[in-house]
Amino acid sequence: MLTLFAFLITLALLIVVHEYGHYRMARACGVKVLRFSIGFGKSIWHWQSPNSGTEFVLSAIPLGGYVKMLDEREEQVPPNERHLAFNTQPLRSRVAIVAAGPLANLLLACILYALVNWLGAQTPAPLLAKPEAGSLAQAVGIQGGERVVRAALDEDVLQEVASFDDLRWLLAQGVLSGQRLQLEVIPATGQGQQVFTLQLAQLQATTVDTTTLQKIGLVAPFTRPLIGQVMPAGAAEKAGLRTGDLVQQVGLVKVVDGQQLRKIIRASVLAGESSSIWKVNRAGVELELPVKPEAVEEDGVLVGKIGAYVGDLPEMVLVQYGLLDGLWLGVQRTWNTSMLTLSMTWRMLTGEASLKNLSGPLSIADYAGKSADLGLISFLQFLALISVSLGVFNLLPLPVLDGGHLMYYLWEYITGSPVSDAWMNSLQRWGIAILLFMMVISLFNDVTRLFG
């Protein structure tokens, strides 16, 4: 139920803002708006403004919306209202009206990101876990436990890193743009500072997923290798482990963080180990305990389990900004997300990235529900991301989208005459075909991702 409610809220907000952008700009340019509709199909509610004459409609299929303006190309216009028709407006006015919808979505994203910055969020601190074996982070000498204080891409000025989310965002930008990432860190000892450079271009990655992060070596924030709740009759209880034990070593391997410890436990069965000596610290007392993980089948693969929660919660920090800083960071985040979206779209068009990255309404509904379940801040961040995606997508030079109409107006500006009706109809048909193809691919990806 939460997923459905969050999805409807998402659709309603983004569609209303987009169409309201068109509506307000049309009114500002002196164009008569006949209908403002949220959704398509049969009308289930309507109201007509006595002042402007605009009919506001809520329709049965809430997967979009439209603003219908007075236009001689669609119906006969009385001579006394010809100056109110869209098609009679100067080019600059038509460009402004068409662009206002996507720009309204981008403005909404700025406000939502700024709101997140103003409200503040508890988020994991920028502490590095022990890197994956063979990863970029391990290759440059990162040990685990380091705290990132500043970072930058390529030759950019080092900027403060307030949270692990900030670091993950920089990683995403660096991977998709093929840049290197500089990390200024304080070692786990707390003494001095070090600078590490991750050559992200070496990965030649086209998307940022768990596999990419594993190759980088920075999948999740640092957590202490602490034993949590111990289950009755499990391997942990049989070995004498207790809640609160801090694991320092497993066999000959020094344990740095919880993520590393979980991997050691899972891999112990495949390694054929019967048991190993664990060195633990229990309230200041060092103990050695023989622990034998149990073999459990997961997705057809045998993995080791000890019957206890492994790993402490990550250290959390409150990230919050003042009025101007929060607003400026919101604008920056919207711009950077827009550029990443364009980059990813271009990679998919050129075949550098898989079309599996396309998401449709089912995935959006799923993510809406999950983000809402995590709280207001997560839901606001999700709304901002989808608003950016919608704004950028509508600005693409694809016929039937706002960007396609802007492409027509660019042609009109260059040549001095509008695109002919024949060309317009042909391009619209191609645009519809491409859009349908993208919808089919995204729905297929949704079904595969959620039910595969």
Instruction: Answer whether residue 49 is part of any domain.
Output: no
- Asked whether residue 248 is domain-assigned, the answer is yes
- The helix (H) or strand (E) run that includes residue 255 is none
- The verdict on residue 265 lying in a domain is yes
Catalytic one of 19, 132, 146, 184: 19
Q: Is the pLDDT of residue 451 over 80?
A: no
Of 376, 394, 396, whose CA–CA distance to 386 is shortest? 394
Q: Are residues 325 and 395 in the same domain?
A: yes
Is residue 270 over pLDDT 80? Answer: no
The confidence score (pLDDT) of residue 73 equals 86
Q: Note whether 337 and 448 are same-domain residues.
A: yes
Burial of 229 (0-12, 13-18, 19+ CB in 10 A): exposed
| Whether residues 348 and 410 fall in one domain | yes
**CA gyration radius for the chain?**
27
Same domain, residue pair 215 and 238: no
The residue among 276, 310, 344 that closes a domain is 310
Question: How far apart are alpha carbons 158 and 154 in whole angstroms?
Answer: 10
13 assigned to some structural domain: no
Name the 3-class secondary structure at 63: strand
Whether 25 is covered by a domain: the verdict is no
CATH of the domain at 280: 2.30.42.10
pLDDT confidence of residue 133: 85
Task: Mark which of 288, 310, 332 sits at the end of a domain.
Answer: 310
Say if residue 252 is in the same domain as residue 205. no
Lowest-confidence pick of 1-10, 124-133, 144-153, 347-356? 347-356
pLDDT at 274: 66
Residue 229 pLDDT more than 80? yes
Q: Are 150 and 167 in contact (CB under 8 A)?
A: no
Q: Do the beta carbons of residue 86 and residue 97 sit within 8 Å?
A: yes
Question: Is residue 77 assigned to a domain?
Answer: no
Which pLDDT score is estimated for 51?
Answer: 84
Q: Which structural domain range is residue 186 located in?
A: 124-221
pTM: 0.82
Same domain, 206 and 258: no
285 and 178 in a common domain: no
Mean of the per-residue pLDDT values of the chain: 86
Select from 189, 221, 253 the last residue of a domain: 221
> What is the C-alpha to C-alpha distance for residues 178 and 172, in angstroms, rounded to an integer?
10
What is the per-residue pLDDT for 271? 58
Considering the domain architecture, whether residues 168 and 108 belong to the same structural domain is answered as no
Q: What is the pLDDT of residue 342?
A: 82
User: Is 19 considered catalytic here?
Assistant: yes
CA-CA-CA-CA torsion sign (332, 349, 397, 379)? negative
Q: Give the confidence band of 210 by pLDDT, cuts at 50, 70, 90.
A: confident
Asked if 217 and 233 sit in the same domain, the reply is: no
On whether both 190 and 291 belong to a single domain, the answer is no
Domain assignment present for 366: yes
Note the pLDDT of residue 355. 61
- Over 80: is that where the pLDDT of 391 sits? yes
- Considering the domain architecture, whether residues 244 and 167 belong to the same structural domain is answered as no
In a domain, 23, yes or no: no
Domain count, the chain: 3
Residue with tokens 């959620």: 450
Instruction: Report pLDDT for 447.
Output: 67
> pLDDT category, 74, cuts 50, 70, 90?
confident
Are 289 and 340 in the same domain?
A: no
Percent of the chain with pLDDT over 90: 41
Task: Name the residue with higher pLDDT: 64 or 357.
Answer: 64
